[in-house]
């Protein structure tokens, strides 16, 4: 019994850091000078790369909120969303009750109009 406790603690120590991806806590910066804000997001809603993005939230299947930093004024901007999978489509709106102020709502769906999770990139020009 005494030997199993140290082994259990060692196993927990080894798996703890693997449970939270590094990209979720600290996304790689995007340094493009031609966009005000940008996000590279996984299908699960994890922010992999970012510029002037505060957070991303996966609201429901195929629905995401992308909170843009307050230094970017979405009222005077153009938002472009791209999906890497060509048989999927996307739609975005700003701002609305789902995601709040200064946020982009991204919807991803298949060709039949069904919501599906999909990785995407968003750029605020």
CA distances from 88 to 54, 59, 123 (A): 26, 18, 18
Q: What is the pLDDT of residues 74-95, one digit of tens each?
A: 989 999 999 987 688 988 887 8
Distance in angstroms (rounded) separating the CA atoms of residues 123 and 100: 18
Is the pLDDT at 6 greater than 70, yes or no? no
**Residue 45 CB neighbours (<10 A):** 19
pTM of this prediction? 0.77
Give the pLDDT score at 25: 65
Q: What is the pLDDT of residues 98-112, one digit of tens each?
A: 899 999 999 999 999
**Residue 66 CB neighbours (<10 A):** 28
């Amino acid at each position: 019994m005494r030997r199993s406790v140290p082994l259990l603690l060692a196993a927990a120590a080894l798996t703890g850091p693997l449970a939270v991806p590094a990209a979720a806590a600290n996304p790689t910066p995007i340094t493009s000078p031609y966009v005000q804000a940008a996000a590279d997001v996984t299908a699960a809603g994890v922010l992999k790369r970012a510029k002037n993005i505060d957070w991303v939230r996966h609201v429901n299947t195929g629905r995401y909120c992308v909170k843009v930093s307050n230094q970017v004024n979405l009222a005077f901007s153009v938002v472009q969303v791209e999906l890497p999978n060509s048989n999927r489509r996307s739609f975005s709106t700003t701002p609305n009750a789902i995601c709040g102020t200064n946020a982009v709502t991204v919807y991803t769906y298949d060709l039949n109009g069904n919501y599906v999770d999909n990785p995407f990139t968003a750029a605020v020009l």
